[in-house]
Amino acid sequence: MRMPRLWQMALAALMLTAPGTALAADPLGVDDGTQLTLWTRAATQVRVDQLVQAYNATHKNQVTATYVVTDDYQTKIGAAAAANGLPDLFSADVVFMPNWTSAGLFQDITARIDAMPDIDKVAPAGINVGTWEGKKYGMPFIADLSVWMWNKKLYKQAGLDPEKGPTTLQEFADQARAVAKLGGDIHGTYFGGNCGGCNVFTWFPIAWADGETVMNPEGTESHLNSDEWKAIYKIFRELVADGTMMMPESKDEAGPTWTSFFPKGVIGVQPMPATQISGLVGTGLEDADIGVAPIAGLKGGTSTFIGGDDIGISRDSTKADAAWNFIAWVQSEEAQVEVVAKNGNVLTRTDLADNKYITDPRVKLFNTVGANGQTPLAKNFGATFNDPQGPWIVLFRDAVFGDGANLDANNDAINDSLTQ
């Protein structure tokens, strides 16, 4: 998503003025009846509501959540930051955390995190993405993962084993081709051909699964023109060429409906967000028809994109001890099991997948696959990879729908964007 002009101006000012004050360590914070404000994007409302209501029912502190239209969220945060009016707590899509932490929007909570009980059980990717120049500013809040889902009913009709999904990228392609031969309205696979963020979420893990990289650790140099990536593009380019994948909508799919066709029962196998599984049943699929597998690489390893939102204490809050109490509680076994797991969502703890609420092996997979997952870190990630006019979508479309002849030049454009 392109960064609004107001937000760019606010960032420029904050780079000069944000204090980044370190706080004393306090494992649990303070629960003394403080009134706290929380902002988050509307896309997370259902899950945040569940956490806020449970916290308010069991604590003296009270959190009031405001849900901002997702497309307006960056603008609202930028305006509030410029006016020194940020709420006590606010969340951020993980890909925007490096930008916001580097701008000084969050308080330094390194000491608090390091002193937190069971911190080694919290998904490290959610902490890493909230870390800037050695200081920790955020904790995982709402988690989502990318996986492969397949339609067992279509697999059986195509002569495939309905209980065996793909374990390599080539198997993904072969199984998609087999389903596509059913013809009619049935297609092998589907993805957002004009959606940079969708394909970051579902394609980056293919490389990670084989131990390959997307960028350097600093997030300033793209590796998307490597031999590994050339092989990945080739497999998908061949799927496009033989018509296996292509519903007419796929090439120009910009994101709003990229997950809507698999639930209709017309797609064989597709990368999907883990959180979608609860909404698939009854829309053209029976629960028993849905298979789930981790995203695999060319060589058979597995990985996932650890997405969702981080949360931190704003640099404008004067209630840091109470705000930390909420953040620390979110990572507690009580919250993770009795709220997150109970509602069938992805945990931010790596040690609690075996609990009384997670009996579906597919949901259990969601809560274990994250151990091999990653979240890419780059200060200018949004403008580079999520912006519909950004250089990543140009590279992607040329490599998949074209001949890939401009791969090196397009990768250079990504490097230029990352270093702006």
Which of 372, 389, 405 is the last residue in one of the domains? 372
How sure is the predictor about 17, in pLDDT bands with cuts at 50, 70 and 90?
very low
Which of 129, 157, 156 is CA-nearest to residue 143?
A: 129
Q: Are 297 and 169 in contact (CB under 8 A)?
A: yes
- Shared-domain flag, residues 225 and 274: yes
Average pLDDT value for residue range 25-42: 90
Q: What does the pLDDT look like over 196-216, one tens digit per residue?
A: 999 999 999 999 999 999 999
Q: What does the pLDDT look like over 131-174, one tens digit per residue?
A: 999 999 999 999 999 999 999 999 999 999 999 999 999 999 99
- Shared-domain flag, residues 35 and 64: yes
Which of 227, 197, 365 is CA-nearest to residue 296?
A: 365
CB under 8 A, 24+ apart: contacts of 411-417 = 411/222, 411/224, 411/225, 414/222, 414/224, 414/384, 415/220, 415/221, 415/222, 416/391, 417/380, 417/383, 417/384, 417/390, 417/391
Give strand ranges (E) for 58-101: 62-68, 89-93
- Shared-domain flag, residues 13 and 95: yes
- Shared-domain flag, residues 20 and 117: yes
Which CATH number is 197's domain given? Answer: 3.40.190.10
The separation between the first and the last C-alpha atoms of the chain, rounded to the nearest angstrom, is 16
- Shared-domain flag, residues 261 and 393: yes
Question: Please, what is the average pLDDT of the chain?
Answer: 90
**What is the 3 state secondary structure string of 273-292?**
EHHHHHHCECCCECHHHEEE
Which of 345, 370, 366, 342 is CA-nearest to residue 356?
A: 342
How far is residue 230's CA from residue 44's CA, in Å, rounded to a whole number? Answer: 35
Q: Which domain holds residue 283?
A: 145-305+378-418
